[in-house]
Amino acid sequence: MNLEIDVVDEKAKSVVHLSGEVDVYTATKLKDNLLPLTYEKDHLVEVDLESITYMDSTGLGVFISALKSTNEHDSKLKLVNIQDRVLRLFNITGLDEIMDIEGIRGENS
């Protein structure tokens, strides 16, 4: 179970490119890298999920924690390029209603 995390910092934005799987084995690594980015006021954290091949409920928990942190620190979280199979988890749990998700990718994109 591998997860690659590449963070590109810009002036008021951090772009987090993820590749691999977000699950019980990799969630702590993601949380440790993602949450500190949400601590800066008016900072946008954009997470690119295009190369995520699998995500479980533990991964969803990391994004819930990040969303809570953005609310506490007056920053923003956006998920982009999310694959259909991963988006289904957000749909089933209703998280798609409270998270900023754009650039949805189809299975054959």
Mean pLDDT of the chain: 93
Q: What's the DSSP call for residue 100? A: E
Question: What pLDDT was estimated at residue 95?
Answer: 94
Is the pLDDT reported for residue 1 higher than 90?
A: no
Percent of the chain with pLDDT over 90: 90
108 band by pLDDT with thresholds 50, 70 and 90: very low
Distance CA 9, CA 99 (A): 21
The reported pTM is 0.92
The yes or no reply on domain 3-102 and CATH 3.30.750.24 is: yes
Query: Tokens for 66?
Result: 């990040």
Question: What pLDDT was estimated at residue 4?
Answer: 97
Q: Where are the domains of the chain?
A: 3-102
Closest CA to 26 of 69, 55, 64: 55
Q: Give tens-digit pLDDT for 24-71.
A: 999 999 999 999 999 999 999 999 999 999 999 999 999 999 999 999
